Structure 1
Amino acid sequence: MIKNEKIKATEVQLTGLNGEDLGIMSTRDALALAKQHKVDLICMSLMTSPPPCKLMGAGAAKQEKQQEKKKAAKTPDKRKVKEIRLNLQMEDHDRETKQSQAERILTKGDSVKLVIQVHGAKEGTAGKEWAEQLCKSLAEYGSKTTGIQVSGKQVVVQLDPIE
């Protein structure tokens, strides 16, 4: 947060104490106005020219910044991507367990990355077929975000929850 004499711009876009637009003025005039009202001149952003500045008390500026941080902390993070590793030689019961695990993850709102371990080209096609079956059976919980990718020793597909 840049304030008062540390603002190096020659002109600023000034906003008053009550949020009213005071227009573009020289930094010296804006500083004089701030001293007249016994408040600080706070620069909001250096990304535009002239930079937008506000007249506000030092305590109010700190409080506003803290409120913005709290708001940012409250917004939920991106959904997590949970990886489930599978193998073509798994028993049917283990496959069902992994599928129900994927259902649980998707209903919680996280994404699932299914990774099926394969060996060779023949198993690659079998792994792709199994991945397609899994996607169909999990269709009510999530949808594919990526296509089914077959690469060497694994088949990978990611499912995002349906909202």
Structure 2
Amino acid sequence: MTRRPLAPPPINGPRFNEFIVSPKVRVIDQDGENLGVMYTREAMEQAQAVGLDLVEVSPNADPPVAKFLDVGKFKYEAQKKANLARKSQKTQEIKEIKMRPNIDDHDYD
């Protein structure tokens, strides 16, 4: 009986470093400059040389876009943005009335 390889743990938020599954990514450095399309391993090595992580910011693009960022700071800013959006959203309040047979038409008007 052979064992299946261990699956990576589920990640909350964007994929980063070794959790990026795409073989090639479009890389943007910490200053916002486009470094072009390169292999994920090569991009991770460059990010580690700078002291940052390689974070996948747009996974649905072709190829996916990855950026040199600090993962903790990126998650913190995303959480703050979500909290602000949740705080500023409006909820609609619905007014209810009870319809009974004994109430006349002019009471409903």
The normalised TM-score by structure 1 is 0.49
- Is the contact made by 2:16 and 2:71 (CA closer than 8 Å) also made in structure 1? no
1:10 to 2:23 alignment: yes
- The aligned length equals 96
* Alignment RMSD (CA, Å): 2.4
Which of the pair is proportionally richer in helix?
1
Distance 1:12 1:73, change over 3 A: same
Cα displacement (A) at 1:34: 0.5
Structure 2 residue runs of 5 or longer lacking an equivalent are 1-13
Aligned-pair distance for 1:12? 0.9
Q: Which structure is higher in RCO with an 8 Å CA cutoff and minimum separation 6?
A: 2
Cα offset for 1:41?
0.5
Q: Evaluate the alpha carbon distance shift between residue 81 and residue 49 of structure 1 in structure 2; reply closer, same or farther with a 3 A threshold.
A: farther
CA offsets, 1:31-81, max 9 Å, x none?
111011010001123222211211111332222222222232123145344
Which residue matches 1:84? 97
TM-score, scaled to structure 2: 0.69
Identity among equivalent positions (%) equals: 32
Report the 3-state secondary structure (helix = DSSP H, G, I; strand = E; otherwise coil) of the residue aligned with 2:55.
strand
Q: Which has the larger radius of gyration?
A: 1
Gaps of 5+ in 1: 97-163
1:19 equivalent in alignment to 2:32: yes
Paired position in structure 2 for 1:29: 42
Alpha carbons of structure 1 residues 78 and 41: separation in structure 2 relative to 1, 3 Å: same
1:61 matches 2:74 = yes
**SS in structure 1 at match of 2:68:** strand
Cα deviation for residue 94 of structure 1 reads: 3.4
- Name the amino acid aligned to 2:66: C
Corresponding residue to 2:55 among 14, 33, 42: 42
